Amino acid sequence: MTEKKALVIGASIIDLTGSPDEELIYGDSCNGKIHVSHGGVGRNIAENLCRLGISTDLMTALGNDLFGKKIQFDCSNIGINLRSSIIDDNLATSVYLLVNNHFGDIEFGISDTEVIRLIDKNYIEHNSKLISSFNTIILDTNLSKETLNFISETYADKTMFLDLVTRQKTHKVKDIIGRFYAIKPNIGEAEELTGIKFEQQEDLLRMRDYFLKAGTKKIYISIGKNGSFYADSEECGFVNAVSVIPKSTSGAGDSYTAGLVFAYLNQQSSAESAIFATGAAIASLLHGSAANPKLSENFIKEIITKYNICSQNI
């Protein structure tokens, strides 16, 4: 049997998360809890894939500092291979400062990710032999526009998944979106990429047509509390929203992307992939971290059954 493996190229970040005990009062301090954890979209996706039994390499950039050593140690324990990652003596490991509101939703965040710029064309060329050994590659838009363009052009024969990260970063891939086999924007990112404002179901179909015409094969658009929309050239539809009380919403989207990759490697349809990815995202919401330590294929299937996650073609 062919080994199921994936290469993730993207950011590794230390997350500093503040959660207030009561409603935030702007301009004032408040009591709460501050949590330190490992994050970064690329690293989060890699952890989820590893916990799902996928042999995973992560190409990232870290500072040769305490936070960088913490991420290396954690990745080693999880089983994420960092053999080609950059450990730099001059730049600090990326840090993401996140503040939640008292409902557990993100209020604001600040990222310091300068070290990720070291993943550039020269670095990619230097590691071309390793990259070429993978058929499935996952990228995040923390990478520079130039790096995303170079990778997607150079490895056009690979199956590439793209996580958009934030609406602000969609400009990096707007002109090359068709190079990616599968994309996972939220509704805001999809609006930014297509120029189509979402107001009704017909707008999602217009977005689907835009992406398919560009060359993208699989589209998965999260619509927040309204669930998610999936589409390819043969089917499209919705996966129902699930009501859970999240410990934190940070990282759920990364778990969703990992679920899509796992489903692809197991030859699932777009609808099946969206259902499985939703289960992975809920696992993250329930635990309050980017990757639930209990994560496994069976655990996600239990969540799908418990919350009656299903699809409806349109």
CATH (domain of 11): 3.40.1190.20
Q: What is the pLDDT of residue 248?
A: 65
DSSP letters, 246-312, are -S--TTHHHHHHHHHHHHHHTT--HHHHHHHHHHHHHHHHHHTSSS-TT--HHHHHHHHHHTT--EE
Decide if 265 contacts 161 (C-beta within 8 A): no
Q: Residue 174 is part of which domain span?
A: 5-24+31-313
Look at the chain and report how many structural domains it folds into. Answer: 1
Whether 288 has a pLDDT exceeding 90, the answer reads no
Residue with tokens 């999880």: 78
State the average pLDDT over residues 105-134.
Answer: 94
**What does the alpha-carbon distance between residue 177 and residue 212 come to, in Å, rounded to a whole number?**
10
State the average pLDDT over residues 30-47.
Answer: 92
- Token pair in block for residue 87: 């450990």
Q: What is the pLDDT of residue 6?
A: 98
Lowest mean per-residue pLDDT among 79-88, 97-106, 269-278: 97-106
Whether 1 has a pLDDT exceeding 50, the answer reads no
Task: Show Cβ contacts of residue 288 under 8 Å, excluding neighbours closer than 6 positions.
Answer: 104, 246, 247, 248
State the average pLDDT over residues 74-92.
Answer: 97
- Reported as a single tens digit per residue, the pLDDT across 299-310 is 999 999 999 999
State the average pLDDT over residues 179-195.
Answer: 98
pLDDT band at 242 (very low <50, low <70, confident <90, very high): confident
- Reported as a single tens digit per residue, the pLDDT across 62-76 is 999 999 999 999 999
First to last CA, the chain: 36
- Reported as a single tens digit per residue, the pLDDT across 133-158 is 999 999 999 999 999 999 999 999 99
